[in-house]
Amino acid sequence: MKRISAAVALAAAGALVISGCAAGGGDSNNDDSGLVEGSSITAAWNQAFYSMNGNTSFGNATANNNINYLVLDGFNYYNNTPELVENTSFGSYEMVSEDPLTVKYTINEDAKWSDGAPVDASDLMLHWAALSRALDTPDFDPADFTDPDTGEFTEEFPTDVVYFDSGATPTSGLGLVSATPEVGDDGRSVTLTYDAPYVDWELAFATMGSMLPAHIVGKKALGIDDNEEASKAVLDAIENNDAADLAPVSAFWNSGFNFTEMPDDADLVVASGPYMISDYVADQYVTLTANPEYTGDNAPNIEEITIRFISDPLAAVQALENGEVDIIQPQATADITTALDGIDGITVDTSLGGTYEHVDLQFDQGKNPQNIFSNAKAREAFMKVIPRQEIVDTLIKPIIGDEAIVRNSQIFVPGAEGYDESVEANGSDAYADVDIEGAKALLAESGITDTSVCILYASNNPRRVNEFALIQASAAQAGFNVTDCGSEEWGGLLGTPGAYDASLFGWQSTSLGVTNSLPTFETGGINNMNFYSSAPADDVIAQLNTEFDEQKKIDLQIELDKTLWSDFYGVTIFQFPEVTAVSDRVTNVTSSILAPTVFWNAWDWQVADSGSEE
């Protein structure tokens, strides 16, 4: 029997991760729940995994973090309420002082990596060094050492610089922890002291899916075979600010965990979470197997979860109907909802999710020889030709009807407190309708002679292909020559100098923290893929980082939203409709509006009928 439910998710803006689409054990007779040997299910996702480090500008993508969430344990995570859950079976944290803000993190004694090495202060300290960048070589710019075709660092990247590619800035998050933390409790705790108050301190450090194994980094970067010695070497390098050792350590942290098939070196998939990567066939699937060293509360019921990569949403539906996959969350289209209506034996949930579609313009280092969007009039002109309402009417309303609306804020989710007030003041109404004549006049005033605009988007995503076509046709009427920079590897190309002029993709919320979307707009922030830099925006962001008053936080976000629209940052288009379809042979599957959406409680999934065919 098929069951259908609908809900509209309303939440404050949170941390953002690049979305590939709207996303996309024991048996039921065991009341105690527990691992059922030999049990397995298959889920589908639209984009292939490519990095176990989701903290870099290259690896920060939903396709990676769905899996990283299950293989890398941490101090807390969000459930599907959504509310923040402290993962006390991994460790604990406490604020020991408000002034200065001081927080102590302690790892439980029985926490281990899958190779048996203990999770300890070396892991915590490496995480701090990477996400604070407090030990980085000053003023180093990696732009000249980034491959425009892949988005990865080139072999010419200097070997003598310390550079952690986390996008941390000194005004927010762990960037505010400039002093080296204090190690305690026989190497199981670290105490962080902030330079200034930070409102979202509870979300800043080692949440689930983010902390990598220091002993593996030490082994690979420093050529040390013994786990304990490697771990100690990383810790010593950090505590002594030893640039000679920190340079290779940072280089390996940046790129060493990037892979597109099962690595020959098993060290690269060492895990601390309930699952570990056990197999990976390029462009086909990743298999996760229950981690035998895991002792936490989120012990899995199902022994093996395979995540197949199916870029075509209709193909994912077909795979579900054929029994080849059990869980899908394809990008929702009218064809998808119609196809799902014809399948029995599944549960279908529809909602508005935490992802929003948008177009960003490259303020610097675009593909156009004249760097077209460094020109404010050209940016404003292009925003006027993007057919936002037509995109919603044509592609989104057939899925969810009148719930589909144009999103008019860079900061607030429609329906959230502050959204209506911000939309009234931010200037987005200037782009409610396409204005071809206004765009022509602005383009003429700009002095730009090369009007080519190459747009980066997911070329294997049918909805994005349709959006690109609508934008291309509209822009042509105003004199823009929109060209195709679409790629299946679009996620890794975001932020790559010279690769494109505008980008069409989705940001997906990963938390409800007010500050965690700010690295998208802050100068040098990890999510700042378009080289946007604004002193007024940076000033508001700095204030938001330290503001605890709820109304003042809303007021500051409204001010930031207005600044972004007046700077012609780009346009928001719509909030994603989300469709989750689950075979009735799997139970306890629920989705969250926050990443990792349907995977948030994969350890609770159960096979309803252990005798069913796979």
pLDDT, greater one: 553 or 593: 553
- Residues 274-283: pLDDT tens digits? 999 999 999 9
Tokens of 562: 């207005």
Report whether pLDDT(16) > 90. Answer: no
Residue 570's CB is within 10 A of a number of other CB atoms, namely 25
pTM of the entire predicted model = 0.87
Mean pLDDT, the chain, rounded, equals: 92
**Residue 323 CB contacts under 8 Å (≥ 6 apart), including other chains:** 583, 613
380 in a structural domain: no
Q: Is residue 250 one of the residues assigned to a domain?
A: yes
Instruction: Name the residue range of residue 100's domain.
Output: 88-207+213-255
The verdict on residue 174 lying in a domain is yes
Q: Which of 24-38, 364-378, 584-598 has the highest mean pLDDT?
A: 364-378
Question: What is the distance between the terminal CA atoms of the chain, rounded to a whole angstrom?
Answer: 19
Gap between the Cα atoms of 410 and 77, Å rounded? 25
How far does Cα 171 stand from its chain's mean position? 21
| pLDDT tier, 609 (very low <50, low <70, confident <90, very high otherwise) | low
Point out which residues pair with 288 in neighbouring strands: 277, 305
| Residue 27: predicted pLDDT | 33
Q: Give yes or no for a contact between 79 and 65, defined as CB atoms under 8 angstroms apart.
A: no
- Residue range 316-337: average pLDDT? 94
Beta-carbon contacts of residue 216 (< 8 Å; ≥ 6 apart): 230, 267, 268, 270
Mean pLDDT in residue range 500-509: 94
Lowest mean pLDDT among 139-143, 372-376, 496-500: 139-143
Is position 451 within any domain? Answer: no
**Does 478 have pLDDT greater than 90?**
yes
**Rounded CA gap, 534 and 555, in Å?**
18
pLDDT for residue 333: 84
* Structure tokens belonging to residue 100: 């200065």
612 pLDDT higher than 60: no
Mean pLDDT, range 94-101, rounded to an integer: 96
pLDDT at 11 over 60: no
Mean pLDDT within 503-530: 89
Min mean pLDDT across 141-150, 187-196, 315-324 is at 141-150
Residue 128 lies in a domain: yes
Distance CA 389, CA 432 (A): 7
The pLDDT of residue 510 is 83
Q: What is the pLDDT at residue 352? A: 80
DSSP string, 92-120: EEEEEEETTEEEEEEE-TT-B-TTSPBP-
b/e per residue 234-264 (b: at least 16 CB within 10 A): bbebbbeeeeebbbbbbbbbbbbbbbeebbe
Q: Which amino acid is at 567?
A: D
pLDDT at 20: 55
Q: Which residues pair with 92 in a beta bridge?
A: 106
pLDDT of residue 400: 83
Please give the pLDDT value at position 356.
94
Task: Check whether 464 has a pLDDT greater than 80.
Answer: yes
For range 245-252, the mean pLDDT:
98
CB 162 within 8 A of CB 250: yes
Tally of domains within the chain: 1
Confidence at residue 14, expressed as pLDDT on a 0 to 100 scale = 39
| Contact of 301 with 294, CB cutoff 8 Å | no
pLDDT tens-digit series, residues 21-59:
433 333 333 334 489 999 999 999 999 999 999 999 899
Distance of CA 168 to the CA centre of its chain: 15
Distance between CA 280 and CA 376 in Å, rounded?
Answer: 45
Confidence of residue 402 (pLDDT cuts 50, 70, 90): confident
DSSP letter at 265 equals -
CB 57 within 8 A of CB 45: no
% pLDDT > 70, the chain: 94
pLDDT tens digit sequence for 111-124: 999 999 999 999 99
Indicate the length of the chain as a whole number: 614
pLDDT for the residue 442: 98
326 is a domain residue: no
Q: State how far the Cα of 365 lies from the Cα of 449, in Å rounded to an integer.
A: 17
Nearest-angstrom CA–CA distance, 498 and 279: 35
- Find, among 74, 76, 73, the residue nearest to 86 by Cα: 76
User: If DSSP states are collapsed to H, E and C, what string results for 230-285?
Assistant: HHHHHHHHHHCCCHHHHHHHHHHHHHCCECCCCCCCHHHHCCCCCEEEEEEECCCE
Residue 524 CA to residue 526 CA, distance in Å, equals: 7
* Residues 587-599, mean pLDDT to the nearest whole number: 93
To which residue do tokens 């159960």 refer? 606
Question: Which of the four pLDDT bands, split at 50, 70 and 90, describes residue 3?
Answer: very low
- Find where tokens 């200034």 sit: 196
Q: What is the pLDDT of residue 475?
A: 98
pLDDT of residue 15: 54
User: Residue 552: CA atoms inside 13 Å, Cβ hemisphere, count?
Assistant: 10
Burial class (CB in 10 A: 0-12, 13-18, 19+), 211: buried
Q: Is the pLDDT reported for residue 207 higher than 70?
A: yes
- Share above pLDDT 90 across residues of the chain, in percent, rounded to a whole number: 79
Please check whether residue 516 lies inside any domain of the structure.
no
Write out pLDDT tens, residues 537-557.
999 999 999 899 999 999 999
Residue 516 has pLDDT above 80, yes or no: no
Label residue 577 by pLDDT band (50, 70, 90).
Answer: confident
Specify whether the CB–CB gap between 547 and 410 falls below 8 A. no
114: amino acid identity, one letter: S
Cis-peptide into 82, omega within 30 deg: yes
- Average confidence (pLDDT) over 57-63: 90
CATH number at residue 134: 3.90.76.10
DSSP strand pairing (481-484 vs 285-290): unpaired
> Which tops the pLDDT comparison, 335 or 269?
269
* 422-446 pLDDT per residue, tens: 999 999 999 999 999 999 999 999 9
Output the pLDDT for position 401.
84
CA distance 14 to 200: 11
pLDDT for 8 beyond 60: no
CA distance 250 to 241: 12
Strand partners, 76: 86
Residue 488, beta-bridge partner list:
none
Q: Is residue 183 assigned to a domain? A: yes
